[in-house]
Structure 1
Amino acid sequence: MLTKKKWTLFSLLILCGGTIYKLPSLKDAFYIPMQEYFHLTNGQIGNAMSVNSIVTTIGFFLSVYFSDKLPRRFTMSFSLVATGLLGLYLSTMPGYWGILFVWALFGVTCDMLNWPVLLKSVSLLGDSTQQGRLFGFFETGRGIVDTIVAFSALAIFAALGGTLLGFRGGILFYSITAIVVGIVIFFVMKSAEHSDTPARIASAPASDSQNNKMGSVLKNKTVWLVACSVFCVYSVYCGLTFFIPFLSNIYALPVALVGAYGIINQYGLKMIGGPVGGMIADKVLKSPSRYLFLTFIISAIMLGVLIVLPHENMSVYMGMLCTLSFGAVIFTQRAVFFAPIGESGIEASQTGSAMAMSSFIGYAPAMFCFSLYGHILDKFPGMAGYQIVFGLMACFACAGIIISGILVSRIRKNNNARVN
């Protein structure tokens, strides 16, 4: 599907996407150590994630104006190095307000400066018929890198006795990895980034001003529908974080396995969900938007089942199977939820702005969902709190069914109009 030079660039993009979020997503492998050594409650961890997401959302709006302008290797490399430096400060074990400050800055370094540019770079590697596979295999590659890096950090934590020293060692490993990758991308991507010039770029009108492009993006109903679909997926995705305390509290999952489960839940599933979602979207349904519609229905049904299951009487293996199966469905959605932008035929000159706009709205749930879910669990301890959280996730999934259904219809009408 890709030339050798494009594979080089694609590999760099995977490396970037698979390392930069390890520190902001520290809770994936170290949720319990964060509670113990940072002295945080569920709600406070949720607050840190929400503060990060507030800054991220504002940053995505600002990135609409520069994501199509700045050289990609500069923004990617700078964001990785800056993230690593923040991790070095985090290893000093700052207080609660220091943690909020660091997670706020992660919103700038990881999301505002990096994510829309990264998505645009992936999208421009192929034409409109390859978007599902491109984003699917991108998520798979990220999952592989995520898993290797996260398990390496967890191994350091375990080797140092699972103590404060081990926790600090894991943070330092994440930090140094991000800095090294940033340096590599700065030097290697210089020659690689000139080779990703598909026909989509060649045919893009060069005379469009940035204001005209922004106006077109803001008026494009398809972009808004894609953004709202992402919003619903991400609202459900935020709940996956709390499967970790769910298994620990309800199923008494041993502490030694909690970190491993978190890595599998957040990273390992990408390796499955990425290619499965991408290939089904492109090869079977031949439409990422139709795939989102179908999987929203499946996720709503699965959440309903999770609510009514007698978890207190089930084995821990059944609990892990149920939660991981649901997580796999969500990760297939995450693999392709930006693909409808390429499917809808938006011009290459507007792709960065469209990605930034979709990210601005689509990732907004993280501003409140992490905090909301965490505080619900603190206020309603035990199974009742988790049932409320699962119910809210199901509501977002049902909203996604409606929105993605409208998106499917609109893309079909637009494609028919272009043919005629």
Structure 2
Amino acid sequence: MTLFLFLRRCIKLIKHKDKLVITSIAAGYNLIYNLYVMKALYYSTMIEGLHLTHYQLGRIYSMYGILAMFSYLCGAFFLKKFQSKKLIYIPLMITSFVSLFLASLPSYTLILLMFGIAGFTVGATFYPAYLSILHNTGNPENQGKVFSTFFFMNSIFGSIFSIIGFKIISLMNNSESQIRFLFLFYGILTFISAIFSIITLKDIKDTEKDEGKKFDKKQIMAVVKNKNIFLTIIVVFANYVAVANFTYILPYLSYNFNLPDYVLNTISVVRMYLIIIIAAPIAGSITDKLQSSAKLMRISFILYIATIFIMVFIFPRNPIMTIICSIMICFFAYGGKSMALITIDETGISRKLYGVAISYISFVAYSPDVFYFSLSGWILDNCKTYGYSIVFVMSAVISLIGLIASSLLIKRKYKSQ
């Protein structure tokens, strides 16, 4: 079955109302996470336009990560207390205002504060709500199709928005004007997405609220002590580091090979959005056929590690092979990302505890936001010659740990059957 036939089949299997819901959430997801993604798309523009060092930009994203990480623990509470549709459009509006404020190019302290607000808003509200809505769309047997369709639509929106953004900033002469426009551009789009969400999500029902209003300590501890949950955390953590490493691919290519801006911009759009259009449906198809996202993650880790090794140690001075390897790295990591959280279905927890499990997994698994960018920024500032190689190898070692965890998760699943 070809990729396009699979996508067509996925879309056919999803009800018309659900298609609108997935489209709305995909657009909102792309835009609310844009402040986080900007470092991967516009790293050099942010450094120059905001007059920052690598370490300072790393601290900004560490601030975002710290607030997001702790806010994940609030996710289950918000999901129980508020309608999920409100947890979609209200944080979109807040993020829109944050982005519009950043367009004024405020001081470094205010930039830290704004990114902290954005991080908390995403983690405490939008993140658990979008996962809950998607998880309740379809059934356990076709979660691969639902999530691959979601990531496909997310990539379509991302490709369109980033191509427009790159085209317009290419007409500007200085980095300050470019970063100012980007904050304005994405702030306005995010507000429009919030309005679209209000319209399309008005009929969403929250099934979790019908399954129990309260969590007792025994239930929460059952999630915390669940060994399969612990293995899932390691799997998601390792994949998240692999995806976070995308931030350094463009600077690596620019530093080593002095590629022109139009080539770097093209690679940026391809690796951030166009690749996932292909990777997510393929990952979804494999997951549904294997009936196991853990098996998909194991394949993803193996290929990611192998490609990092080839890029860093076999073709370190070959620009063509480095570009090919960098694209393949994104393909394998993104394929894994699109299915990583579905691994929770293999832990054996009840649907009632889904919100608690997601909050706990996210709190730990997304902790690289707190330290990884600052650590990587410090390595790049202090290890000029081999800094990028060290960062890439570090991510490969973490992926090896993820590979071991996914294999153990598969083994435990079959033992329990």
Partner-residue secondary structure (3-state), 2:56: helix
1:103 is displaced (CA, Å) by: 1.4
| Structure 1 position 380 matched with structure 2 position 383 | yes
**Match for residue 411 of structure 2?**
409
Structure 1 residues 350, 159: CA separation in 2 closer, same or farther (over 3 Å shift)? same
1:355 is displaced (CA, Å) by: 1.7
Tell me how far apart the structure 1 counterparts of residues 155 and 28 of structure 2 sit (CA, whole Å): 12
- Counterparts in 2 of 1:70-219, with a 5 A limit? 70-161=82-173, 163-191=175-203, 193-194=204-205, 206-207=211-212, 209-211=214-216, 213-219=219-225
Q: Is the 8 A contact 1:83 1:175 kept in 2?
A: yes
**Match for residue 308 of structure 1?**
313
The aligned amino acid for 2:309 is G
Partner-residue secondary structure (3-state), 1:71: coil
Structure 1 residues 269, 407: CA separation in 2 closer, same or farther (over 3 Å shift)? same
Tell me how far apart the structure 2 counterparts of residues 21 and 156 of structure 1 sit (CA, whole Å): 21
**Match for residue 230 of structure 1?**
236
RMSD over aligned CA atoms reads 2.0
Partner-residue secondary structure (3-state), 2:78: coil
Tell me how far apart the structure 2 counterparts of residues 206 and 370 of structure 1 sit (CA, whole Å): 39
**Match for residue 263 of structure 1?**
269
Q: Is the 8 A contact 1:131 1:339 kept in 2?
A: yes
Give the counterpart of 1:297 among 294, 302, 305: 302
**Match for residue 392 of structure 2?**
390
**Match for residue 3 of structure 2?**
none
**Match for residue 351 of structure 1?**
354
Give the counterpart of 2:330 among 327, 346, 350: 327
| Structure 1 position 32 matched with structure 2 position 34 | no
Q: Is the 8 A contact 2:286 2:296 kept in 1?
A: yes
Structure 1 residues 208, 220: CA separation in 2 closer, same or farther (over 3 Å shift)? farther
* Cα distance per residue 1:36-68 (max 9 Å; x no partner): 110112222222111111111100012232224
* Cα distance per residue 1:181-205 (max 9 Å; x no partner): 11221233112x13x86xxx7xx98
Q: Is the 8 A contact 1:64 1:352 kept in 2?
A: yes
| Structure 1 position 361 matched with structure 2 position 379 | no
Partner-residue secondary structure (3-state), 1:210: coil
**Match for residue 337 of structure 1?**
340
1:344 is displaced (CA, Å) by: 4.1
* Cα distance per residue 1:353-388 (max 9 Å; x no partner): 222222111111121111111211111113x11221
| Unaligned ranges ≥5, structure 2 | 1-12
* Cα distance per residue 1:275-328 (max 9 Å; x no partner): 111111112x2211111112212222222222212423x1x3332111011110
Tell me how far apart the structure 1 counterparts of residues 249 and 225 of structure 2 sit (CA, whole Å): 38
Give the counterpart of 1:249 among 251, 255, 280: 255
Structure 1 residues 334, 24: CA separation in 2 closer, same or farther (over 3 Å shift)? same
With normalisation by structure 1, the TM-score equals 0.91
* Cα distance per residue 1:7-63 (max 9 Å; x no partner): 222222212212211123222322111111101122222221111111111000122
Q: Is the 8 A contact 1:234 1:366 kept in 2?
A: no
Identity %: 25
**Match for residue 15 of structure 1?**
27
The aligned amino acid for 1:347 is S
Tell me how far apart the structure 2 counterparts of residues 395 and 2 of structure 1 sit (CA, whole Å): 39
Tell me how far apart the structure 2 counterparts of residues 338 and 368 of structure 1 sit (CA, whole Å): 22
1:207 is displaced (CA, Å) by: 4.5
**Match for residue 281 of structure 2?**
275
**Match for residue 7 of structure 2?**
none
1:99 is displaced (CA, Å) by: 1.8
The aligned amino acid for 2:394 is L
Tell me how far apart the structure 1 counterparts of residues 323 and 265 of structure 2 sit (CA, whole Å): 13
Farther off after superposition, 331-340 or 303-312: 303-312
1:335 is displaced (CA, Å) by: 0.6
Farther off after superposition, 165-174 or 206-215: 206-215
Q: Is the 8 A contact 1:128 1:343 kept in 2?
A: no
The aligned amino acid for 2:331 is A
Tell me how far apart the structure 1 counterparts of residues 346 and 59 of structure 2 sit (CA, whole Å): 36
Partner-residue secondary structure (3-state), 2:258: coil
1:161 is displaced (CA, Å) by: 4.1
Tell me how far apart the structure 1 counterparts of residues 16 and 392 of structure 2 sit (CA, whole Å): 44
* Cα distance per residue 1:126-167 (max 9 Å; x no partner): 222222222222212111111111222222212344553233
Farther off after superposition, 8-17 or 76-85: 8-17
1:332 is displaced (CA, Å) by: 0.4
Tell me how far apart the structure 1 counterparts of residues 263 and 120 of structure 2 sit (CA, whole Å): 32
Q: Is the 8 A contact 2:308 2:325 kept in 1?
A: no
* Cα distance per residue 1:179-230 (max 9 Å; x no partner): 1111221233112x13x86xxx7xx983563235434322332222212210
Tell me how far apart the structure 2 counterparts of residues 266 and 368 of structure 1 sit (CA, whole Å): 22
Tell me how far apart the structure 2 counterparts of residues 391 and 46 of structure 1 sit (CA, whole Å): 19
| Unaligned ranges ≥5, structure 1 | none
Tell me how far apart the structure 2 counterparts of residues 330 and 224 of structure 1 sit (CA, whole Å): 20
Aligned length: 404
Structure 1 residues 69, 214: CA separation in 2 closer, same or farther (over 3 Å shift)? farther
